[in-house]
Amino acid sequence: MASASLKRPLDILVIGAGVSGLSCARELLRRSPGISLSVLEANDRVGGRTLADSEGTDLGAGYIGPGQDHILAIVEELGLKVTKVYTAGKTTQCLHDVVSYYQGLVPPISPIGTIDLNTAMQEMERLVNLCDMNDPRKTPNAVELDRTTVQQAIEKLCWTSEARSVLRTAIRAIMCAEPCEVSTLGLLWYIKRSGGTRRIFETENGAQDSKVVGGYGIVAPMMAARLPAGTVRLNKPVRTIDSRDATTVTVTCSDGERFVARTVVLAIAPVQQLRIEYLPALPSGKMQALQQFKMGHIIKTFTYYDTPFWREKKLNGSAVCDDGIVVVSMDDTKPDGTLPCIMGFVLTDQATKYATMSTAVMMEALGAHYAKLFKDERGRRPLRIKRKNWSEEPWVGGCYTSVPGPLCLTVHLTALEAPLAEGRILVAGTEVAKVNSGYVDGAVEAGERIARNALVKLGQLPSREYDVMITPPPSKLLPLTPLEYTWIETHLPSMTSFIVAGAASLVGVAAFLVTRWW
Amino acid sequence: MASASLKRPLDILVIGAGVSGLSCARELLRRSPGISLSVLEANDRVGGRTLADSEGTDLGAGYIGPGQDHILAIVEELGLKVTKVYTAGKTTQCLHDVVSYYQGLVPPISPIGTIDLNTAMQEMERLVNLCDMNDPRKTPNAVELDRTTVQQAIEKLCWTSEARSVLRTAIRAIMCAEPCEVSTLGLLWYIKRSGGTRRIFETENGAQDSKVVGGYGIVAPMMAARLPAGTVRLNKPVRTIDSRDATTVTVTCSDGERFVARTVVLAIAPVQQLRIEYLPALPSGKMQALQQFKMGHIIKTFTYYDTPFWREKKLNGSAVCDDGIVVVSMDDTKPDGTLPCIMGFVLTDQATKYATMSTAVMMEALGAHYAKLFKDERGRRPLRIKRKNWSEEPWVGGCYTSVPGPLCLTVHLTALEAPLAEGRILVAGTEVAKVNSGYVDGAVEAGERIARNALVKLGQLPSREYDVMITPPPSKLLPLTPLEYTWIETHLPSMTSFIVAGAASLVGVAAFLVTRWW
């Protein structure tokens, strides 16, 4: 062991062979083909939070959408295809224990609830628009918004329990956390970087538009295979990063092997950065920041049937449920119709509840859930299930991404992104992406940008390229088209105007009655 | 290296030589003198969050109070003395930038503010009383309280900005966190285990009643010195805990040295437990729990003067300030009058701000603060300062203790406390204490109790002793006497009754005017 220390130091050592680390390595070699480079991966596989099993089922990140041009460029380069998520038919909603089906965007809630939800969504969109994309601290009322939990915001925004429930469910599904755990500014910024409220929630033309044929999880292994042989080292958990020397950084793995590099890129989630021992010790701001960004809490499940019975009933398999084991489900049947399957997200308290339960118990609960949602007893008879509890992955810690709690953005973000050791240790990973943070696309953006930052540091790129996001040309695979608003969304009165109008009508009716009868 | 693996396994291996780990070792040897035992400490010193420098200044935990009988028993056993904190004279308050001085308990705010604050404190005390000491989830409305931040609770409880400011400041001082980061249930339970609102806030007869002569920080080194030679091993950061063998646990340190034991006790903070690599991987509930309990954020400062000038002005040096560098300060002059000094807590955003500033800049800021608070230009001329930023300590991560954010108690506490590997890995530390959690006293309680749990597991104690808290006889050093409520506290009307009375009076006055003039 430790022979590397006797050799010339590596130019760059990337820690983490998830999509961000691999994108970083790819960009480094593209920009500087002669660079010496290694990528260390703690796990026995590459891919991080993306993972496809032998059936091409995405146990991790599964969806790709228009506007995600960083990852789309890679998917295209790798010669992969994408396929639309099945959306033919009606979507299922279970709200306050009542199941209903609907087409389009307006979930079937009461007229008052609809007005209320629409008002709240418009207000959220207004706040998202005000949010400063590059520096969330420059958002109007940033401190106040960052001290307010999303639960508080929902309570303030919504008048009806229906609208509250719909919003709470939507936010749980996008953050894998409870609204009371998330900073309002954190949520707004997250949505902003994902292209807005519509883009983040939508399937068609939204973040859940498509899937990669063969699995999103095959992208990372394919990227790794295109790196020079021996670049990626598996089963190399990093235990110590020593930057006490002025020009090099020495990285020691669990097994004692040492790597010496001029620059180190941390392409791992904040909580995993926290687990490493640093010499010298981390500055206090970084130590605090790394404690704030905990990972979301999710078990991704797949329930297989002998037939996609929901399609017979003109249901698309997409379902949102405000209570029960699965919050959001989607049809995950293969494009050729084989392996009929419903994918379901089991989140937060339900993830805690089912984490220790047997597969049989979980299969029964999933079956009962889908039987209820699709109003079909065949739901109760799944052939088998798959499940992936991402909090059990020691080198990940949770999914989809880090949850921005109160104060995360206004107090801790700067330290989270900050390099260490005068720029010899840089930070990548989807959490620090300038767009689509939390998505695979953000992992690519951050990885590529930090690669260029490293090359600037090494004098191989001009300093004007430091920390500049470069967006690939718009993808032809999934072109970005504007989202259209329905007439009802743009013309529905707000809750306030509804109440004012209601009060005015009452006065009018009263006046009418008075003049008629008295 | 790795010779221990060839020898007979240790009965117990304690990880962490803070007060909890040392108390655990002490209790183990007291109950089972023949036991084989090692204590591994990552740092180059024992004591964890307690640390006295060569002048006996407590850079870490500094105060001891009545009711803390676990640690008082040890202090007494070690032959140490305690000395009262200086309280002669008036306390200083700076609220909304106005400095005032007061004696007793009622801070000098407006009459309306006083009524409001008193109402809020009474409500808080009522909620603390309702809180279930042993299982916070059994508290009425536990889920709702755990989803509500303390900031929300303050906004709901208080009508005036004065009362809000006083409460916010008090809570920042006891949690080293912003109210928006803390779960209301978390705060209530924290206060409950500390003996109630009065006990936690008070100096005299409260948690800040006294100091240990020579420094609280000398307790741990003295405890370590009383263990058999070689028991404590310094500079041994634990990197891996392998419990895949059915009967032993193998612990590997950063330097490669291995220890094999039948039982392991983790006497380190949750965030430090998270940093270790576990084989097999942690269950998801534990992985999630360890990410939730981040450490508080504090720089403890000491500002030295040639004379305790505040005492000349009949001020006791205790000050509370709702804005500025120091939130809470106290006289830290030695009992014999030497080393005149004001201790000051620099918290959260101020800790972030001053973490990277030079000693000279910080000294100027502290001097200006005390000159303003004590209305004396001599404040501006400190001789020197000391400061300890606990988030810079890699093997601590922050102080005083872990902050219970939203959902921590109702969702994550069980997993936080849970043993691993069928009870072969147990969890101690002040965070899991049954009383005075967060205090040194709690560290002792947890350490001693977990020691007995380990002995039960090893068959050396009957199972009825498992997880039973044993409280030492009441200390004679600092006897616990009931706290008295002032007349004003118990008789002041509530804000509601004040408003009702006010409205009634207005009606009365109006009626009077009507009858007189019309």
DSSP codes, A12-29: EEEE--BHHHHHHHHHHH
Q: How far apart are CA A223 and CA A22, in angstroms?
A: 7
CA distance A21 to A201: 28
Which pairing describes strands B298-304 and B249-253: parallel, antiparallel, or unpaired?
Answer: unpaired
**Cα separation, B202 vs B199, whole angstroms:** 6
- B4 has a pLDDT exceeding 50: no
B155 CB burial (10 A radius; 0-12, 13-18, 19+): middle
Q: Is A325 on the interface with B (CB under 8 A)?
A: no
Q: Does B414 touch chain A (CB under 8 A)?
A: no
> What ranges do the domains of chain A cover?
4-82+213-282+420-465, 85-210+295-392, 487-517
Residue-level pLDDT at A517: 59
Q: Is B180 in the A-facing interface, judged by CB distances under 8 Å? A: yes
| Interior angle at CA A251, CA A249 and CA A254, nearest 5 | 170
pLDDT digits (tens, 9 = 90+) for A320-366: 999 999 999 999 999 999 999 999 999 999 999 999 999 999 999 99
Is B355 close to A285, i.e. CB distance below 8 A?
Answer: yes
Q: What is the pLDDT of residue B455?
A: 98
B178 has a chain A CB within 8 A of its CB: yes
Query: pTM for the whole thing?
Result: 0.93
DSSP structure string for A150-218: HHHHHHHH-SSHHHHHHHHHHHHHHHSS-GGGSBHHHHHHHHHHTT-HHHHH-STTSTTSEEETT-GGG
Amino acid at A207: A
Which tens digit of pLDDT belongs to each residue from B271-291?
999 999 999 999 999 999 999
Closest by Cα among A318, A268, A394 to A103: A318
pLDDT in tens, A269-325: 999 999 999 999 999 999 999 999 999 999 999 999 999 999 999 999 999 999 999
Element (H, E) at A258: strand A258-266
State the nearest Cα–Cα gap between B200 and chain A, in angstroms.
25
CATH class of the A85-210+295-392 domain in this structure:
alpha beta
If you measure CA to CA, which chain B residue comes closest to A291?
Answer: B294
Q: If phi over 0 gives left and psi between -120 and 50 gives alpha, with beta otherwise, what is residue A190?
A: alpha
Confidence of residue B6 (pLDDT cuts 50, 70, 90): low
H or E element, residue A253: strand A249-253
Contact list, B356 vs chain A (CB under 8 Å): 283, 285
What distance in Å separates residue A241's CA from the closest CA in chain B? 12
**Residue A518 pLDDT:** 56
Q: Which residues of A touch B239 (CB under 8 A)?
A: 239, 254, 277
Query: pLDDT tens digit string along B391-412?
Result: 999 999 999 999 999 999 999 9
Closest-CA distance of chain A to residue B262, Å: 23
The answer to whether the Cβ–Cβ distance between B406 and A348 falls below 8 Å is no
B232 Cα to chain A: minimum distance (Å): 21
CB of A422 within 8 Å of a chain B CB? The answer is no
Q: Which of residues 181-220 of A touch B (CB under 8 A)?
A: 181
Contact B356 A406 (CB under 8 A): no
Number of H-type helices and E-type strands within chain A: 18, 17
Q: In this complex, do A392 and B351 lie within 8 Å of one another by their Cβ atoms?
A: no
Q: Which tokens hold the place of A276?
A: 């490493």
Helix axes A184-193, A150-157, angle to 10 degrees: 90
pLDDT, mean of residues A238-263: 96
Question: Is A284's CB within 8 Å of B149's CB?
Answer: no
Chain A residues close to B283, C-beta within 8 Å: 355-356, 392
Distance from CA of A212 to the nearest CA of B (A): 28
For residue B3, the model assigns a pLDDT of: 45
Predicted confidence (pLDDT) per residue in B162-195, tens digit: 999 999 999 999 999 999 999 999 999 999 999 8
Residue with token string 């209305």: B375
Query: Would the pLDDT of B231 be above 60?
Result: yes
- Verify whether the Cβ–Cβ distance B284 to A389 is below 8 Å: yes
CB atoms within 10 A of CB A175: 26
Q: Which residues of A touch B275 (CB under 8 A)?
A: 274-277
Q: What pLDDT is attached to residue A189?
A: 96
> What token pair was written down for B333?
């002059």
Q: What architecture does CATH give domain A4-82+213-282+420-465? A: 3-Layer(bba) Sandwich (3.50)
- Judged by DSSP in three states, A319 sits in strand
CA of B283 vs chain A CAs: smallest distance (Å): 6
Rounded to a whole number of angstroms, the distance from the CA of A59 to the nearest CA of chain B is 16
Which of B152, B180, B272, B356 to mutate to test binding with chain A, by most A CBs within 10 Å of its CB? B180
For chain A, the residue count is 518
Q: How far apart are CA B399 and CA B389, in angstroms?
A: 9
Chain A residues whose CB is inside 8 A of the B295 CB are 288, 291
Closest residue of chain A to B276, computed from CA coordinates: A275
Distances (CA, A) of A254 to A234, B134, B145, B251, B362: 12, 39, 42, 12, 40
Residues of A in Cβ contact (< 8 Å) with B353: none
Task: Provide the pLDDT for residue B55.
Answer: 97
Q: Do domains B4-82+213-282+420-465 and B297-391 have the same CATH topology?
A: no
Q: Is A489 on the interface with B (CB under 8 A)?
A: no
If we measure between CA atoms, which residue out of A324, A299, A327, A369 comes closest to residue A171?
A327
CB contact under 8 Å between A149 and B352, yes or no, is no
Greater confidence (A118 vs A200) lies with: A118
Instruction: Determine the Cα–Cα distance for residues B323 and B300; give it in Å rounded to an integer.
Output: 17
- Partners of B385 in the beta sheet? B303
B242-252 pLDDT per residue, tens: 999 999 999 99
| Tokens read off for A79 | 């010669």
Interchain pair B393, A281: CB under 8 A: yes
A284 close to B (CB below 8 A): yes
Q: Do B287 and A392 touch (CB under 8 A)?
A: yes
Cβ neighbours of B185 in A, within 8 Å: none
pLDDT for A5 equals: 46
Kindly report which listed range (A83-87, B4-8, B53-57) carries the lowest average pLDDT score.
B4-8
- Between helix B111-130 and helix B495-517 the angle, nearest 10°, is 140
Burial of residue B138 (number of CB atoms within 10 Å: 0-12, 13-18, 19+)? exposed
Q: List CB contacts of B414: < 8 A, sequence separation 6 or more.
A: B285
Whether B9 has a pLDDT exceeding 90, the answer reads yes
Helix and strand numbers (H, E) in chain B are 18, 17
Interface check for A98 against chain B (CB to CB < 8 A): the answer is no
Put simply, whether B292 touches A (Cβ < 8 Å) is yes
C-alpha dihedral (A421, A423, A427, A428), degrees to nearest 10: -160
What angle in degrees, to the nearest 10, is found between the helix axes of A348-355 and B284-292? 140
**B446's tokens:** 């947890």
Q: What is the pLDDT of residue B487?
A: 67
Contacts from B126-135 at CB under 8 Å and sequence distance 24+? B127/B184, B127/B188, B128/B188, B128/B191, B128/B192, B128/B196, B128/B197, B129/B196, B131/B185, B131/B188, B131/B189, B131/B191, B131/B192, B133/B189, B133/B192, B133/B193, B133/B434, B134/B434
Q: Do B406 and A274 touch (CB under 8 A)?
A: no
The per-residue pLDDT for range B191-226, each reduced to its tens digit, is 999 988 888 888 888 889 999 999 999 999 999 999
Per-residue pLDDT reduced to its tens digit, A408-442: 999 999 999 999 999 999 999 999 999 999 999 99
Contact between B271 and A375 (Cβ < 8 Å) = no
Return the number of CB contacts < 8 Å for A and B: 142
Mean pLDDT of the B321-333 span = 96
What are B473's two structure tokens? 């006889």
How far is the C-alpha of B395 from the C-alpha of B236, rounded, in Å? 11
Structural element, H or E, at residue B70: helix B69-77
How high is the pLDDT of residue B482?
78
Is a pLDDT exceeding 60 seen at residue B506?
Answer: yes
| Nearest-Cα residue of chain B relative to residue A389 | B284
For residue B1, the model assigns a pLDDT of: 41
B101 to chain A, minimum CA–CA distance in Å? 31
pLDDT at residue number B2 = 42
**Contact residues, B window 34-93, toward A, CB-based 8 Å cutoff:** none
Cβ-defined contact of B147 to A178 (cutoff 8 Å): yes
**B347, B391, B396: best to mutate for the A interface, most A CBs within 10 A:** B391
Asked if pLDDT for residue A3 goes beyond 60, the answer is no
Whole-number average pLDDT of chain A: 93
Question: Which pLDDT tens digit goes with each residue over B86-125?
Answer: 999 999 999 999 999 998 767 788 889 999 999 999 999 9
Distance, in Å, from the CA atom of B161 to the CA atom of B154, rounded to the nearest integer, reads 10
Does B288 sit within 8 Å of A398, measured CB to CB? yes
Distance from CA of B365 to the nearest CA of A (A): 20
CA distance B253 to B241: 9
Cβ within 8 Å of residue B151, ≥6 positions away: A147, B168, B178, B179, B180
pLDDT value of position A488: 66
Structure tokens at B400: 């005083």
Range 108-167 of B in CB contact (< 8 A) with A:
147-149, 151-152
Of B356, B391, B407, nearest to A288 by CB-CB distance is B391
Closest residue, chain B, to A348 (C-alpha): B411
pLDDT over threshold 60, residue A129: yes
Q: How far is B276 from chain A (nearest CA, A)?
A: 7
Q: What pLDDT digit, counting tens, does each position of A95-115 carry?
A: 999 999 998 767 788 889 999
Instruction: Tell whether B350 lies on the interface with A, counting CB pairs under 8 A.
Output: no
- Name which CATH class applies to B297-391: alpha beta
CA-based radius of gyration for chain B: 25
Residues above pLDDT 90, as percent of chain B: 86
Alpha-carbon gap: B399 to the closest alpha carbon of chain A (Å): 11
What are the two backbone dihedrals, phi and then psi, of residue B415, each rounded to the nearest 5 degrees? -70, -35
Q: How confident is the prediction for chain B on average, in pLDDT?
A: 93
Q: How far apart are CA A77 and CA B96, in angstroms?
A: 61
* Tokens 């090893």 sit on residue: B458
**Token pair of A429, please?**
């990973």
CB < 8 Å to B394, chain A: 277-278, 281-282, 287
